């Protein structure tokens, strides 16, 4: 059986977004890979919550889709621990990102009908940026690459710092190169003097050693 092609979605805010909210489409569970017929779906608003272990739907979703519980489960929420029903559903996210036979619990969600939890988020790559005061959230499935901001920052800082040092070292006058390098060390040390994180300090100072 052929694998499903990679899928992705992006949410762009006009400013900083306090909540990540997208549309989603939910139906009773069916497995198209087994030739099961598609079931009617409805549109709901969903928030993305990395603090939630599993995905959640409200009673409104349950009633709209006439969902039948498959079991009871004990869930932990901000209001405490309680037992609730669990349902099987299919979830379609923007740009056709689909998940089949997802276990969701019933719960109360303020201001929306669906909560996308880590059970879905951890199946792919999830990233949030806020460049220029505008939030951009991206999700792709399946996971395709590691997103490592610290390693990327090291490469950028290394290039920024080494370039003038190399230029100074390439001068025929070694005495002229030394003051430039020392001046850069002083400026970098001053910029990092208030940083509580020792690892970036050690790395950056080593570049100028």
| DSSP structural state of residue 54 | S
The predicted pLDDT at position 2 comes to 42
Q: Let me know if 19 is exposed, middle or buried by CB neighbors in 10 A (0-12, 13-18, 19+).
A: exposed
| Residue 71 half-sphere exposure toward CB, CA atoms < 13 A | 6
The predicted pLDDT at position 1 comes to 35
Given a cut of 80, is residue 118 above it in pLDDT?
yes
The predicted pLDDT at position 73 comes to 93
The predicted pLDDT at position 52 comes to 94
Given a cut of 70, is residue 171 above it in pLDDT?
no
Average pLDDT over residues 132-146: 94
- What residues does each domain of the chain span? 7-141, 149-207
Asked if 91 contacts 102 with a C-beta cutoff of 8 angstroms, the reply is yes
Q: Which residue has the tokens 């004990």?
A: 74
Residue 32's pLDDT band (boundaries 50, 70, 90)? confident
Strand partners, 24: 44
Q: CATH for 7-141? A: 2.40.70.10
Q: For residue range 56-94, what is the model confidence (pLDDT) as tens digits?
A: 999 999 999 999 999 999 988 777 788 999 999 999 999
Q: Let me know if 67 is exposed, middle or buried by CB neighbors in 10 A (0-12, 13-18, 19+).
A: buried
């Amino acid at each position: 059986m052929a694998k499903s092609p990679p899928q992705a979605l992006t949410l762009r805010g006009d400013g900083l977004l306090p909540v990540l909210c997208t549309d989603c489409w939910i139906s009773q569970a069916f497995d198209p890979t087994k030739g099961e017929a598609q079931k009617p779906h409805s549109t709901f608003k969903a928030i993305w919550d990395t603090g939630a272990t599993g995905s959640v739907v409200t009673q409104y979703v349950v009633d709209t889709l006439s969902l039948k519980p498959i079991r009871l489960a004990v869930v932990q929420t901000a209001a405490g621990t309680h037992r609730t029903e669990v349902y099987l559903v299919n979830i379609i996210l923007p740009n056709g990102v689909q998940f089949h036979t997802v276990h969701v619990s019933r719960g109360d969600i303020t201001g929306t009908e669906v909560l996308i939890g880590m059970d879905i988020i951890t199946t792919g790559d999830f990233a949030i940026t806020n460049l220029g005061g505008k939030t951009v959230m991206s999700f792709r499935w399946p996971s395709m690459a590691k997103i490592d901001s610290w390693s990327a920052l090291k490469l950028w800082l290394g290039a920024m710092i080494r370039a003038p040092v190399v230029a100074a070292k390439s001068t025929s006058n070694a005495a002229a190169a030394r003051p430039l390098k020392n001046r850069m060390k002083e400026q970098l040390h001053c910029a990092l003097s208030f940083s509580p994180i020792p690892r970036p300090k050690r790395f950056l100072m080593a570049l100028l050693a």
